[in-house]
Structure 1
Amino acid sequence: MTRQPPLSSGSSGSAPPDPFAPARLGPLTLRNRVIKAATFEGVTPQGLVTDELIEYHRRPAAGGVGMTTVAYCAVAPEGRTERRQIWMRPEAVPGLRRLTDAVHREGAAISAQLGHAGPVADARSNRLPALSPGRFFSPLGMRMTRAATAEDLTRVIGAHASAARIAIESGFDAVELHFGHNYLASSFLSRRLNRRDDAYGGSLANRAKVALGIARAVRDEVGDTIAVTAKLNMDDGVPGGFGIDESIQVARMLQDEGTVDALELTAGSSLLNPMYLFRGEAPLREFAAAFPQPMRLGIRLAGGRFLRAYPYEEAFLLPSARRFREALDLPLILLGGITRRATIEQAMAEGFGYVAMARALLREPDLVHRMAGEPDVQSLCIHCNKCMPTIYRGTHCPLIATPS
C-alpha cells in the first residue's frame, strides 16, 4: 500500500507551513491545519443523529476549522460510555449522512471518532457489562467490569473495521481511533489496569496488541479511501499507568506498520484522573448539581479525589509532545490548551502537522476565521471547565447563551 510521505517538520531550514493554508492528511486535503477535537456532544438521546448534533458541528465548520470530529462513535453496544452515545450501525447511516453533508456545505471535512469505552463504559446505563483487561469495580458504572476474553477482543477489533466502513458509507472524510483515556485499547496498554498473564498482558508488545490490531483492521478495511488517525495517550497521569517512554514505543509501532496517517497526542484517564487532560479548575459544584441526591452530596464531599485540579498553561501538552516529535517521522496533531494564533504558529515551527482545539471552540465557534484574519486574536475561554458538566444536557460554554 502506498502511503503519503510525512509532512516536513520544518527543522531542515525550510519555513514552517502556514497553518491556515490547505494541508494534506493522508489521502485527504484539509483547508487548514486546525482540527476541532472530539468532545462528547450530549445531544443524541436515542443514540442517533439529531438536529442539535448537526448544528453543534456545523458551527465550528462555518467558523473555519479544517475538520471537525464527531465524538465517541462507539463500535459496539457495550462500548458506549452510556446509552445516549452513537453506536455505529446501519440504522445510524441516514442521520450521519445528514451530518456530514451539513459540514461539507460549510467547506470543512469531518471525522468520526471510533472507539470502545471498555472500563469507562457505564454498564448501568448500557445494561451490558463493561469490558476491561481484568475484573474490577468501576466507579463510573458502579458495577464490576468483565474481563474481556480473546473472543471479545477479536470481535471488538472487527467491529472497528465495520464501523469504519459505516463511516465511509455515511460520508466521513476520516476516522479517529480512540487509544486514549483508559478506554478499552488504552486500558490494555496500562500496566496498572492490565495484569493479565495471557497473550494480551505482560510485555508492551502484548499489551499493544489490541491497539495495533484495531489500526491494522481499520486500515485493511478502508485502504486509502479516507484518512485514519489515532488518539494516543502520552501519559495516563496515574501511578503505575501508561507513560511517555512506553507510549513512544507504541507510536513507533504504529508508524512502522503504516496504519495511521497522523497521531493526536493526549493524556489522562477518564476512569482514574480526567482533569489531567483538561487542566484548570475542577468544577465540582457544577458536576454535583447535574446529579440527584445522594450522589450530589457525595460529589460535593469526595469529588475532589477524582476531579483533581491542575494548573492551566497555554499548550500544556507541548513539553511531552516534543519528545514524540523528536522520536517520530509520523505527522502529529498537537492538543491541549491552544488558544492563540502564536501558539499554532509555534506548533508548526516545531514540526507538528496540525493542532486540535476543543474548549476554545465551544466559547467561540468562529475563532479560526478570526485568527486567520487577525493575528493578535486570543480565545475568550477562561479554562473554568464549567463546560464539562453540561454534557448531560447538551455540551456548551455556560458563559454564553445556551446554543439554539
Structure 2
Amino acid sequence: MAEGDSSQEKTEEPTAKRLQKAREDGQIPRSKELSTSLVLIVGALSLWIFGGFIYSGAENIFRFNFALERSHLFDEKEMVIHLSASALEAILVISPVMIALIIAAVLGPLALGGWMFSGKSLLPKLSRISPLAGFKRMFGLKSLVELLKSWAKVLVIAACTILLFFSLENSILYLNQEPDRQAIIHAMDLVMLGALALAISTLLISIIDVPFQIYDFTKKMKMSLQEVKDEHKDTEGKPEVKQRIRRLQYEMSQRKMMQDVPEADVVITNPTHYAVALKYHSEGMEAPVLVAKGADEVAMKIREIAKAHKVPIVEAPALARSVYTYTRVGKEIPEGLYVAIAQVLAFVYQLNQYFKGLGPKPKQPVFPVPPNLRA
C-alpha cells in the first residue's frame, strides 16, 4: 500500500508526534470568540471598578481645559505645555483599563490552546493564494460555521440590547429629572452595566464555538492506519534496517572479541560446543574477566585462535557451560566460580612449569561448579 494514501479513512486518534508537529506548524485549537469575550468582559469589569477614578480624572481634565488664562491662548509654548499636561492626565486616567485589557489579551489564549510561537505559520503558502483552495474555504464547513457564528453574534447581542433597554427603560427616561452631577454618574453606571451585560452575552457564542473548534481540530489531526504505521516506522526505524544494524553490531563485537583471545590466559572448552577465554592479572583485577565466549562455530574459531597463539586450552564441560551462561563478555566471573577458575589457573601454571622442565606433569583435577551456577 502506498504511503500517504489519502483515500484511506482517518479513524485513528492523532499521535503525540503528530500533535507536536502541528503545534510547531502553528496548528492548535483556538477560539477567537472566547478570547474576544474574555477581553470584553475584563474591559467592562475594569470600567466598572475604575469608573469613579476615570470620572474624576475626566472632570479634572475638563476643568483644566476650560479654565485657560487669556494670555495663554495667544502663546504657542503655553498651549503645547497645556496640551501635554492634558494628554498625560488622560493617559494616567485610562491606564488601569488599558493594562487590564493587555493582561486579558495576553492571558486569554491560555483558556484554549495555550501560548504558541511559530515562525512557520508566517511563511507564505501557495494554498493560501490558490483559487481552488480559496473556493473550498469559502464553501466549506468551517466557513458555514463562521457565517452562522456571525449571525448568531448579531442576534444575541441585538436581543440582549433590546432586553437590557426595556429592563432599564425607567432609569434611562428619568435621567433628565435628576441633578446634572447625579445624572452623569447615574448614566455612567447604566453604560457600564450595559457594557458588562453585553460582554457577558458574547459568552453564549463562545460556549458553542469552543467545542466546535476542539472537534474540528481533532478531526483534522486524525490519521489513517497507514499513516500511524508509517510514523511508527519513521520513529522506530524500518525492521530490515534495524536488523542490518544489529547484524553489523554483532559482527563488530565478534571481531573485537576474537582480537582479545590471544591476550587470554586460558580457554576452557566443552570441548566442542562451548569455549570461553579468560584473562586474569593480580594487579588491577579483582577477579578473572571473560574476554571471549562462543558456541559451535564461534567456539571452534576461539579454539583455533588460541592454538595459533599458544593459549592453554582446558577441557572442563560443566565449568565452560557455567561461565558461558552466567558471564557477559568484558565482565568478571560470578563469585561462586572463583574456586573453580583459581584451580584452572593453577593447573595451567603447573602445565607451563612442566613444559619448561621445571616440574612433574600435573593431573587435571575436577573443577567444582556450585549447583546454583550449573547450566
Q: TM-score, normalised to structure 1's length?
A: 0.16
Instruction: Please identify the structure whose Cα radius of gyration is greater.
Output: 2
- Per residue, is there more helix in 1 or in 2? 2
Q: TM-score, normalised to structure 2's length?
A: 0.17
